[in-house]
Structure 1
Amino acid sequence: MVTMYEKYLKLNIEGSHIGLEYGVGKNNYFCTPKGASVIGWAGVDGIHFCFVRGFGEMVFAVSPMNTPGNYVHPLAQNFKDFLRLLLACGHTAALEQAWRWDQAQFDGFLGENAPTAEQSVALDIIREKLSLTPMDRPFTYIKGLQAGFDYRRIKYAEDYDDFVPAEPQMPEWKVYFDGNFCGHHGRERAGKEIPLNRKFVWEDEAWNIPAVYTCSKGLVIDFYLKVPLERIRAFMDKWKLLDGSDGTDFTDEQRMQIDAENPLAFNMNPKAVLNGTGLLSSHGCGLSWNPCFPEGNGLEAQCVVQHYGLDPDQGYAIWRSAFLWKTHRKPQIKTLRVILAQDPIAISGPHFQVSLPGEQIEFTHPSTGQKYTLTVEGYERREFSARHFNVPTQEFPEHYTMLSYTILPAPPDGFLTITDCAPSDRPRQKHPGPNVLQATNEVCSIGIIGIPRGATSTASGGGNEGKLQAACSALHFEPVDAVEWRIVFHEKRCEDIGLELI
């Protein structure tokens, strides 16, 4: 009896158009299962498709570039179903990646990758010559097959473990005052956990303080914000972060907006009041759990999710704050209260150019609608002495522009900053003598203490004149004719909140 696979081969289709390229002589990979018979190649990243001895006509995808544990996935119960999936999706790319997507991502990929003319020709031949119809609900079919499959049945070559890094062991959960979410330095003893599970709502967001820890030096408090998967995916879809973008194509304004909109980036400044007395904040750390990239979450995030029993299908922004005891000995906790304050977020404002004292710029706050007038009090070119840099083999830019100004009505301190839209010039190698070898690698730019890009300073002004403030431009090797300035607003979007914990 002629199998469906044999019938397909007799069609002599150009399989590369649909991601099923015929590849005689191609070598198998370390993660190709034992007993595999390769039936086609995707043409990228070594991805190939195969039957495996002992599994009948079931079709598998093998993806060497996936993370450990995700190299092999079943796609279809038999080759006929595999072809029907191809008719429904147009290319093996959607089938191979379905394991890591949900329905919306799968549908989005199909919508953005409609079959080309060459693909349509190949698919029409399969449909007509083999009398096949597209698979109904292909994503549901694939997910159902994979959910019921026992991956332990797949066997690999003897050298498989030589290529696959050992899976890190989940460490025992211990919290140290001077440590982070995993590990610590020194010989400090782990703190004692006091479970709280203090749930609360802050600006319509679901928060929890799962526990506090009493250590020899002070108190450690864990916080986390629960973020629905749909909200994270909407954010990532908007900025096309699901496509693997590294962010290099974003402008400064876009990066600022991304930081402001990121649902997993919420910076706060917690305070702790123990037995009626405020504790001194020592340090803190944070991390996040992103369900859109489960394989990308680090071991620390996995430890937190496991210890606190969090749902891995949801997102979390997690903080740990440490506070020093006010006494030499660990005090008895009678009452404990925390006050949470959101750190201001940066909001990009208008750009402007000026050149002379007395010029005025009018601008409006994007949230409140309040109008302001900036008056230039001073505008001059300056040089920053190279003696501040103790790197004899490099030259540093020294030219910058100083802008001094007042704003009316006078805004509160920290309300805004003014920055240069252009970056500073990168340091460069000095030209040595003819007998001295020169370094050829590119030198990275550095921050310069004293006049950082966009720095502001204030000095008291009198009466209704407002405060005199200053901003420095980027540093350049040659003076620039004009500077394009950017106003950056700093805004708190959440009111402070106080919570009784004990």
Structure 2
Amino acid sequence: MGNVQLEREDICVMRRQKGFSEKAERPAMTGRTEVECLMEVYFGTNFWDDRKTGAPLDKVPVHGAAEGDMLAWGNRKVRIPAVYVGQEGAVLDLCICVSLPDISEYMEKWKDREYQNLSDEELEQVENESPFGGHFDVLLSLDEARLKGTFGCGTVWNPLLPDRDRDPETETLMEAYGCSREYGWVFHRNCFEWDRTPVLKPGKLECVLVPRKQSVTAAHFVTDLSDGTWDVSGKMGDGKKQERKIQLVHPVSGDTYILTILSCEAGQREGDWGDPGSDLEYPSHYQEITYTVEPDIAPEELTVQDCEREDQPRRKGAGDNDADPSILVSSTVLVPMYAMEGGKSPNVRSAYSSLRFGPVDRAEWRAVFHIKKEKDFQIQADLVHCP
């Protein structure tokens, strides 16, 4: 079945940035209600796209609006109000119901925090805890014909936000799909292309929601070169540096892993990098550690990351602490996260700190598990076409 990647939202503030600055005129109603006109779905467009070209897709209802039509997925309730089909492909809409107490508790916890001031670890926590969150991929088959996902989008209806903060497109979805205003709602739209012959009158739908992995920090540790040693546990009697071991507990299985730091050294990226001819300079100093993990675990399931972000680019000739806040360019670590130097054991991994303008003597790290907390959720439905 096809796979579609959903766009990431800033669920902390639970608002959406519109992709288009100008709105087209409302479509002519020609005897239909305004909601019916606004809910015409065209292939390749999101909830807010007014660029409607070609013919609208045919709507095929799937689940009704009654509470009994909702499907339980863990602690959430979901339903597919409709799938839209045409020669170009299919569009699937998905509604997820969110309880009011969960929304209230979440907003109360994070109300005094400024989104832009949150660390990467805090952003992960915000995303993991959000009742509107839960990123997943969508797989779709119609009459056992798999489709290829092209893109997805999402929006939120939050009953605790003022009316002025609710966009008209989400209000249209609420009305069109009969969603109760006693709850919060997440709306997803997923676009698919036919892999083979179009199925314009499908009789059976199969959809699988595949949760993405979440990042969970298991431990923090510090490496410091400023006193001539990175190993806070000291040296052994023969003068050899003692390996440092850190115990990690998997947040789902409860299994214990031992992360052993083998080495730590400062490094610098050679040469200039960035846009040729630019008057910006970029940080080049970093700290590298090598380590092993026992028992073995895939590198994509456990990573070691710097807790601090990179220094921002600055104008050439500026002072050490003169990064220009108006420069919205991200300095990216270009050294590979899992580079294996010649002669290293394949079980030895490397991690690199964020880039700095000066030597990186001290770095605070975090060990992060990337876990899948929920099982895949399969939805099957027999389809009935409206005359």
Q: Same fold (TM over 0.5)?
A: yes
Which amino acid in the other structure matches residue 311 of structure 2?
D
**2:143–2:199 Cα contact (<8 Å) kept:** no
- The within-5 A match list for 1:423-462 is 423-431=309-317, 442-448=326-332, 450-451=334-335, 456-457=337-338
- Matches of 2:152 and 2:187, distance apart in 1: 11
1:395 to 274, 281, 289: 281
Match of 2:219 in 1: 350
CA contact (8 A) 1:409 1:466 kept: no
CA spacing shift, 1:279–1:385, aligned 2, 3 Å? farther
Alignment gaps of 5+ in structure 2: 1-22, 27-33, 64-68, 224-229, 232-240, 383-387
Q: CA deviation at 1:446?
A: 0.5
* Structure holding more helix per residue: 1
RMSD: 2.9
**SS of residue matched to 1:388:** coil
CA distance in 1, matches of 2:59, 2:290: 52
Q: Report the CA distance between 1:194 and its aligned residue.
A: 0.6
**What is the number of residues matched between the two proteins?**
319
Please tell me the residue identity of whatever aligns with 1:256.
Answer: E
On the 8 A contact 2:127/2:133 being kept in 1, the answer is yes
| Partner of residue 154, structure 2 | 286
Change (3 A) 1:385 1:492: same
Percent identity at matched positions?
27
- Equivalent of residue 357 in structure 2, options 455, 474, 477: 477
> Does the Cα contact within 8 Å between 2:281 and 2:314 map onto a contact in 1?
yes
The match for 1:13 is none
| Alignment partner of 2:244 out of 341, 356, 359 | 359
Q: Of 373, 376, 379, which residue of structure 2 is paired with 1:499?
A: 379
- CA distance in 2: counterparts of 1:322 and 1:215, whole angstroms: 11
* 2:108 partner amino acid: D
Change (3 A) 1:234 1:382: same
Aligned to 2:130: 262
Gaps of 5+ in 1: 1-165, 433-438, 460-464
Q: Does the alignment pair 1:232 with 2:112?
A: no
| Residue 431 to residue 186, structure 1, CA distance change in 2 (3 Å) | farther
In the alignment, the residues of structure 1 paired with residue 272 and residue 177 of structure 2 have an alpha-carbon distance, to the nearest angstrom, of: 53
Letter in 2 for 1:232: I
Greater length-normalized contact order (CA 8 Å, ≥ 6 residues apart): 2
Moved over 6 A (4+): 168-171
| Deviation for aligned residue 1:382 | 2.6
Residue correspondence of structure 1 range 198-209 to structure 2 within 5 A: 199-209=70-80
Cα distance change of structure 1 residues 406 and 231 upon mapping to structure 2, 3 Å threshold = same
Aligned counterparts of 1:192 and 1:215: Cα–Cα separation in 2: 6
Does 1:372 pair with 2:240?
Answer: no
Give yes or no for contact 1:178–1:184 (8 Å, CA) kept in 2: no
User: Residues of 1 paired with 2:333 and 2:355: CA distance?
Assistant: 12
Give the alignment partner of residue 61 of structure 2, picking from 195, 217, 221: 195
TM-score, normalisation: structure 2: 0.74
Measured in 2, the distance between the counterparts of 1:474 and 1:286 equals: 32
- The answer to whether the 8 Å contact 1:286/1:318 transfers is yes
Deviations 1:230-259 (A, max 9, x none): 2101111223x2x6x533554443332221
Deviation at 1:207, TM superposition (A): 0.9
Contact 1:396 1:428 in 2 (8 A): yes
State how far apart, in whole Å, the 1-side matches of 2:354 and 2:100 are: 40
> Partners in 2 of 1:222 and 1:493 — Cα distance?
24
1:215 match: 86
Q: CA separation of 1:440/1:252 partners in 2, compared to 1, >3 Å: closer, same or farther?
A: closer
Determine the C-alpha separation between the residues in 2 that align with 1:192 and 1:255.
40
